Amino acid sequence: GDSVTQTEGPVTVSESESLIINCTYSATSIAYPNLFWYVRYPGEGLQLLLKVITAGQKGSSRGFEATYNKETTSFHLQKASVQESDSAVYYCAPLATSSGQKLVFGQGTILKVYL
């Protein structure tokens, strides 16, 4: 079945350090290359962080980047220098090839950035 595995949290990093949150997924029913990262900041709702919906595209937003690797079925999230305001829960969510545009979510990775 569909499954997504993310880096187990919480991930704790110091401000200005680099970050990578891993995401891998089962390839049987994922609609390449529709891949998304969502974020939930404290006290806020789930919002889209970045997306890749075209082959060869690199998603980027707010200093975050995500690179898609079809061979390893991975979609890791990276940032060169995190800020305290990046503290949030991050969700990897590829789109499954069902008829109804179903997003398959990972378990979420809690990121804590300290000064």
Partner 1 sequence: DPKIIQKPKYLVAVTGSEKILICEQYLGHNAMYWYRQSAKKPLEFMFSYSYQKLMDNQTASSRFQPQSSKKNHLDLQITALKPDDSATYFCASSPRTDEQYFGPGTRLTVL
Segment contacting partner 1 (CB under 8 A): 18-26, 68-76, 78-86, 99-107?
Answer: 99-107
CB of 78 to partner 1, least distance (A): 20
Which letter does DSSP use for residue 1 in this model? -
Asked if 91 interacts with partner 1 (CB under 8 A), we say: yes
Strands (E), 10-87: 11-14, 19-21, 23-25, 30-40, 46-52, 59-61, 64-69, 74-79
Site string for partner 1, 39-78 (x = CB under 8 A): ------xxxx--x-x-------------------------
- Return the ∠ at Cα 34 (arms to 32 and 40), rounded to 5°: 140
> Which of 15, 108 has the CB closer to partner 1?
108
